[in-house]
Chain A
Amino acid sequence: MPRTWASGLRHPGLPTRTEQADLQFALHPAHGDFPHIVVAPGDIDEAFMDSFESFNWADRYQMPVVVLLEKFLASSMFTNDGIDMSALKIDRGLIHQPVDADGDGYRRHALTADGISPRTLPGMPGGIFSTTSDEHDPEGHITEGIENRIAMMRKRMAKLETAAREIPASSKFTLHGPRQADLTLVAWGATKGAILDAMGELENDGRTVNYLQIRLMRPFPANAVAAILRNARLTVLIENNYSAQLGALISEQTAMALDHHVLKYDGRPFSRNEIVEGVRSALSEQKKEVMVSHA
C-alpha cells in the first residue's frame, strides 16, 4: 500500500536536537527484502518538492516512500523566493477502470514488465480484489509456491528499477560548483546551507571546490555517483552523525571509499566555520576522520 512517511530525526539520547543518524535506519526500516524509496531534502525548497513528489511516487510505484526530514530543517526559520508550483502535478498512478460490474478477470497483483499492477479502490463496482501481507498470487491470495514467489519478488523489485529510470536526475543528486575541482565535498540533507557557505572560504586556500549533494538514497544513483567520484581528485565526506552513514552507503553501492570524513555528533547542526575548520584539519593533518564541535 502506498504510504508516505516523514521521519524527524529522533534518537533516544537527544530527541529534540538534530542529527543525521537515521539514514541507515530509513534504508532498512523493516524485515524482509522489499522495495521502497528514500529521499533526503537539503533545504526547505527541496523539502517541499520532495514531499510533493513522494506522494506521487507512493501512488505511481505503489511502495512506501520515506522523506528523511531533519529536525534542523523542520524547526528553523528560513526565507525563500517563493515556490514555482506550475510544474507540479498530482499523479495517482495507474487506476484500473473495470469494464463491467462483474469485474471478471481483474487481478490486483497481475505480473507486468515494469512491476506496477493497476489498482482499484475499495467500493468500485467490478474492482473487487484481495490482497495480503503474505506472499500471494496475482489474484492476491496466499501461496507459498516456488515459481510464484520468484515471479513476485522480481515483479516488486522491478518497480525500483522503474522508479530509478523515471525519477529525473535533478531529484537524485546535485553537483554544486565546477564539474572538475581540486576538492570534492560529499554530503546529504540539511548540511547543504553550511557547506555552500563554506565553499568560498575553502577556495581561499588556493583549491577549486565542488560539492556533491546526494538526495535520492534508494534507488541509489550509483553509476552517476561513481562517475563523479572517479573524476574527483580529493574527496571529503561531511555528515552530522558518528558513523558516516552516507559513506557506508556509497561504499556499498559503488565499492568506493572517500578520502576523509568530517563528522559532528553533538546534537547540533554544522556551522559554516565548523565545516571550514574540519576540512582544513583533515587535509593539513592528513586525518582520515575529524570530529568537530564548537561547544
Chain B
Amino acid sequence: MPESAAAAPKKFALQQYKTEVHVDWCPGCGDFGILSSIQQALFQLQIPPYRVAMISGIGCSGKTPHYIDTYGLHTLHGRALPVATGAKLANNQLTVVAVGGDGDGYGIGAGYFVNSGRRNVDMTYIVFNNGVYGLTKGQASPTLAKGLKTKSMPEASIQEGVNPIALALGAGYTWIGRGYALDVKTLVSLMVQAINHKGTSFLDVFQTCPVYNDLRTKEWYAGEDIGRARIRKLDADPEWDPVVKDPSSIDEVVEKKGLALRASYETGDSLAVGVFYSIALPTYDEQLAVKVPALKDHPLVDLPLYQRDVGPLFAELA
C-alpha cells in the first residue's frame, strides 16, 4: 500500500473489525497473532465489514469468525472451503476468507482442499498449522512430521507429514504463501497480498500451540537451540521472484513451481515463509460471468428470481 493511501483518514476503525465475544484460546496461543493479523489486514484494506464473509471449519482455529465483526459462518469440520465457494458464487462482491486448522484443511477437508485449487474462485484460505488437533486435545495432525511425539501422543508418529505447499502447487492454487503466527507484521502483509490476489489464495501459517505442541514452540521457531532463527524469509533473497510473468509459458510455470517446491522442502533448521508462487489466471467467477453475462454487473443474489412458464414447453412436446 503506498504511503499516501496509508496516511489517508480511514472510514472504518480497526475496532470495527473486532467483536466483544470473549476469546477463549489458551494464553500464549499463536491463534491470537493470526486473528490480529486478519483484523489488521481487513482494516488496512478498508473493506466494509458487511462486505466480508469469514468462513471457518471446526477446531480452536474454527472459532476465529466469532471474534471478527463481519459476516461469520462457523461451519462443520473440514467444510470451510465448500461453504466459502458457495458464498462467493452467490455474491461475487463479497470478500470471502476461509479459515481453519491443519486437521480441518489437510485431514478431513483434504478432498475440498485439492479441488478448490482447481477452481480458482476469488477467495482466500488461511490455515492455522500447529501440527496437532488442538481442540480435541493434541492428537497428531496431518502436518506433524514422522518421528515426532508431541505432549499428548503415547508414541511417536510413524506416518509422514503432508507438505501443504507442495500439495497446493499440485492442486493449482494461483497464490501460495506461508507465514508465522508470531510475526504479525509479515503476516499482515501476506494477508493483504492474499486478499488482493484475484483467484484462490492459500496461506499456510505456522502456529504455536503451547498447550499440546511442545516441540514446535516459539523458542524452537526462534532457534534458541541452534543459535539462529529457523524462520527464513523468502524475500530476504533479492533473487527470489515467485511471480509467473507469462502464464501461457509452461516452462516458466514449471520453473517457478519447481523453485517453490524446493523452498517448501526446506525443513528442520530452515523454514521458508513468504510468497512461494503467484500466477494470474482467469477466476472461476470470471468464467461464470462469461456464461451468465448478468453476473458481470450484479451478484447472483441480487438477480431477480423469475418463474419460467413451462406451459409452452409442454405444448411443444404434446
> Which A positions have Cβ atoms within 8 angstroms of B?
82-83, 85, 88-90, 92, 101, 103, 121-134, 140-142
Interface contact B310-A142, CB-CB below 8 Å: no
Residues of A within 8 A of B63 (CB): 142
Give the distance in Å from the alpha carbon of A276 to the alpha carbon of B111 in the complex.
49
Residues of A within 8 A of B307 (CB): 85, 88-90
Jot down 8 A-B pairs with beta carbons below 8 A, ordered by A.
A82-B311, A121-B90, A121-B91, A122-B87, A123-B53, A123-B91, A141-B66, A142-B74
Residues of B within 8 A of A133 (CB): 58, 74-76
Interface residues of B toward A: which range? 20 to 34
Stretch at the interface among B43-51, B203-211, B237-245, B269-277: B43-51
Known contacts being A83-B310, A132-B74, A133-B75, is A122 close to B66, with CB within 8 Å? no
Q: In whole Å, how far is B260's beta carbon from the nearest beta carbon of chain A?
A: 33
Known contacts being A123-B91, A133-B76, A141-B21, is A82 close to B314, with CB within 8 Å? yes
Q: In whole Å, how far is B137's beta carbon from the nearest beta carbon of chain A?
A: 17
Residues of A within 8 A of B305 (CB): 90, 92
Which of A89, A129, A141: most chain B CB closer than 10 A? A141
Tell me the nearest residue of chain B to A137, going by C-beta.
B21
Tell me the nearest residue of chain B to A101, going by C-beta.
B50
Known contacts being A122-B53, A122-B91, A123-B50, is A83 close to B314, with CB within 8 Å? yes
Residues of A within 8 A of B90 (CB): 121-122
Give the distance in Å from the alpha carbon of A82 to the alpha carbon of B311 in the complex.
7
B184-216 interface mask toward A, CB cutoff 8 Å, 1 = contact, 0 = none? 000000000000000000000000000000000
Q: Which of B293-318 contact A (CB under 8 A)?
A: 299, 301, 305, 307, 309-311, 314-315, 318
Residues of B within 8 A of A88 (CB): 307
Q: Which of B18-33 contact A (CB under 8 A)?
A: 19, 21
Q: In whole Å, how far is A270's beta carbon from the nearest beta carbon of chain B?
A: 27
Tell me the nearest residue of chain A to B65, going by C-beta.
A130
- Does B70 have its Cβ within 8 Å of any Cβ on chain A? yes
Which of B63, B72, B93, B299: most chain A CB closer than 10 A? B72
Interface contact B71-A128, CB-CB below 8 Å: yes
Q: In whole Å, how far is B124's beta carbon from the nearest beta carbon of chain A?
A: 15
Residues of A within 8 A of B168 (CB): none
Give the distance in Å from the alpha carbon of A127 to the alpha carbon of B49 in the complex.
10
Residues of A within 8 A of B49 (CB): 128
Interface contact A125-B76, CB-CB below 8 Å: no
Other than the known A130-B65, A130-B73, what 7 A-B pairs have Cβ atoms closer than 8 Å?
Answer: A82-B314, A83-B314, A122-B94, A128-B50, A130-B19, A130-B72, A141-B21
Residues of A within 8 A of B50 (CB): 101, 103, 123-128
Interface contact B301-A123, CB-CB below 8 Å: yes
Interface contact B66-A121, CB-CB below 8 Å: no
Interface contact B94-A123, CB-CB below 8 Å: yes
- Does B102 have its Cβ within 8 Å of any Cβ on chain A? no
Which of A126, A132, A140: most chain B CB closer than 10 A? A132
- Does B69 have its Cβ within 8 Å of any Cβ on chain A? yes
Residues of A within 8 A of B72 (CB): 129-131, 140
